[in-house]
Chains A and B, each alone.
Chain A
């Protein structure tokens, strides 16, 4: 008996393990997310953002043989106790121009949870929860809907999102 996998939904997650002295400047990203949240401008390009983005692309490439190309990027901040509305990063009527993968990075977070919804054949509406901690990332297919919750009452949570397509 043989088996053929036609499709799979894989999540990739881990720490952004930068060389010593080259850590991601998460305060800079927090400031960029803050200013981005109050303007209609595109998310600002910065050396810090580029270091994060390059790290993700390099390491997903070398560890999982997936070549990622940037689609879009933005940042969000979540108030204490806030639960985001369900987020879907693909446009169902424009899949051609939609991303393949969504990457979430914990910029400055505390008790921040990601719930990713998926379908397992006829079993719909299943979900997988993961805590997003500082300097940790998670990548998952952009076709999966997700919500982000800030489950504490004291501070804002800052989350960086970058979407990719693979070639």
Chain B
């Protein structure tokens, strides 16, 4: 089963459809994206070039089954197609976050959150707390060296 993302005029994904693999075989019996695009154009009244194949098993530029990742992420409704980088981007989580094409993900402008201390980890494991760093955009906008805020999700 193949998956194709339908793009709106602003490159936003507006639908994701499945396609039987036999409907995208070329004359040599090889799966060909352009054949699938033509099939979808014919049956869905939407131009072929606005159907982009996407991989169900690709997430953050990794293939879940060890295969070759395709176009960064499995497309979802609301994702943005990036033609030049050949990546489906998730919606931007915060205004300050930036794209990282190597893992097809958004990252905070000050990097990943700090690691939890061993004490916090043990409290999480004991389920007495659920310590997590969450992004505080307001804090970042006020001081661009901060942004991660340690929060107990159980409180």
List B contacts of A51 (CB < 8 A).
45-46
Instruction: Say whether, besides A59-B8, A62-B12, A62-B77, A21 and B47 are in contact (CB < 8 Å).
Output: yes
Within 8 A of B (CB), among A45-80: 47, 50-51, 54, 58-59, 61-62
Expressed in whole angstroms, the minimum distance between the Cβ of A14 and any Cβ of chain B is 12
Complex Cα gap A145–B9 (Å): 33
List B contacts of A50 (CB < 8 A).
45
Expressed in whole angstroms, the minimum distance between the Cβ of A29 and any Cβ of chain B is 14
Within 8 A of B (CB), among A11-66: 17-19, 21-22, 47, 50-51, 54, 58-59, 61-62
Complex Cα gap A81–B6 (Å): 42
Complex Cα gap A32–B86 (Å): 42
Number of chain A residues close to chain B: CB under 8 A: 13
Residue of B nearest to A19 (CB): B47
Complex Cα gap A61–B47 (Å): 20
Q: Give which listed residue, A17, A22, A59, A62, contacts B46 with CB less than 8 A.
A: A22
B120 at interface, CB cutoff 8 A: no
Complex Cα gap A61–B76 (Å): 12
List B contacts of A21 (CB < 8 A).
47
Is the Cβ of A58 less than 8 Å from the Cβ of B9?
no
| Interface flags, B87-99, vs A, CB<8A=1, else 0 | 0000000000000
Expressed in whole angstroms, the minimum distance between the Cβ of B68 and any Cβ of chain A is 29
Expressed in whole angstroms, the minimum distance between the Cβ of B121 and any Cβ of chain A is 35
List A contacts of B13 (CB < 8 A).
62
Within 8 A of A (CB), among B37-67: 44-47, 50
Complex Cα gap A22–B49 (Å): 12
List B contacts of A58 (CB < 8 A).
6, 8, 14-15
Complex Cα gap A98–B45 (Å): 29
Within 8 A of A (CB), among B4-44: 6, 8-9, 12-15, 44
List A contacts of B78 (CB < 8 A).
62
Expressed in whole angstroms, the minimum distance between the Cβ of B89 and any Cβ of chain A is 15
The 9 listed contacts between A and B (C-beta, < 8 Å) are A18-B9, A22-B47, A50-B45, A51-B45, A51-B46, A54-B45, A58-B14, A58-B15, A61-B14
Since A19-B47, A47-B45 are in contact, a sample of 18 more A-B pairs with Cβ atoms closer than 8 Å, ordered by chain A residue number, is A18-B9, A21-B47, A22-B47, A50-B45, A51-B45, A54-B46, A58-B6, A58-B14, A58-B15, A59-B8, A61-B14, A61-B77, A62-B8, A62-B13, A62-B14, A62-B15, A62-B77, A62-B78
Identify the 9 closest CB pairs spanning chains A and B, nearest first: A58-B14, A62-B14, A51-B45, A19-B47, A17-B9, A62-B77, A58-B15, A62-B78, A22-B47
Residues on B close to A: CB < 8 A? 6, 8-9, 12-15, 44-47, 50, 77-78
Residues on A close to B: CB < 8 A? 17-19, 21-22, 47, 50-51, 54, 58-59, 61-62
